[in-house]
Structure 1
Amino acid sequence: MKKIYLLLLLVSGFTFANNTQPLESIQNDPKVGDVLVINSTSNIKYNHIDFPQLNIIAKKGNIANYKSVHGKRVVVKEVVNNENGHTKVLLENEDNTKFFGVVKHVEANYTKALTSGEMSKVNP
């Protein structure tokens, strides 16, 4: 009976070790045209999405907070892979409006923004 358990453990170990590509990279490959949602953060500002600073938004005549982007659907327009292993994406509003009435496109670190919860993927 011990041999059967040992054999079962060995076979299941080989099954999981056979995966050559990590699951994280399979799920996190962005493509142009992917739709994402910007989530609200517990922090005051976004660390991995490069929105304009609040004082710039206020100087342009808009309300200086990030609440207008909470729950906003964005589309990936460009994907850039760095040599560091980080993936940068260029985001645009799904309805082609400007963020805060100021900028048309925003750059984000895709992998860090997903893991921190600043962005999430929309299920098709």
Structure 2
Amino acid sequence: MKPIIVLFAFFLFAFLGNAQENQVKIGDQLIIGEPAGTLYQSINVPRKNFIIKKGGIPNMSTLKNSVVTVTKISHSDNPTITFKKSNGRKFFKAYRSLTAELNGAIDSGEMTVYHHQKKGTPIN
């Protein structure tokens, strides 16, 4: 009986730790990583023909390693975030903001939380 209780407590703490880890607020910065497959699954990227119609350049590799700032969050079971580039530029030279499913993007590694580092501070 004791091992079951210990195992249950372990999973409960792991779940609570994971739930607190994904607490993203407006103004937080994230980094866009590589897509889970050939295309981004959780980040809502416009199709190439729509990017071209708006006069943009549909180069998906420009998303990788982009630092973005969260501008809007829909509070639901599966929150959707709206974000813009932190440097003020447009995505594909056509879109000011994009959206993503927060939990899916973080779990798949398509987005990670950006941790600031001061100059001269060693990385642990």
Give the TM-score, by structure 2 length. 0.77
Instruction: Give 2:87's match in structure 1, choosing from 91, 95, 104.
Output: 95
Residue 28 of structure 2 corresponds to 34
Q: Distance between the aligned counterparts of 1:56 and 1:17, measured in 2?
A: 44
**Rg: which structure is higher?**
1
Could you tell me how far apart the structure 2 residues matched to 1:46 and 1:55 are?
Answer: 16
- Output the amino acid matched with 1:94: S
Structure 1 61/74 Cα, relative in aligned 2: closer, same or farther at 3 Å?
same
Q: 1:18 to 1:118 in 2, by over 3 A?
A: closer
Structure 1 Cα separation of the partners of residues 112 and 12 of structure 2 = 29
Structure 1: gaps (5+ residues): 1-8
Residues 1:51 and 2:45 are matched in the alignment: yes
1:1-124 equivalent positions in 2, closer than 5 A:
13=6, 16=10, 19=13, 22-41=16-35, 43-82=37-76, 85-124=77-116
Report how many residues are paired.
113
Deviations 1:67-118 (A, max 9, x none): 0111000001111122xx1011111100111100111111110000000111
For the aligned residues, what is the CA RMSD? 2.5
- Give the TM-score, by structure 1 length: 0.77
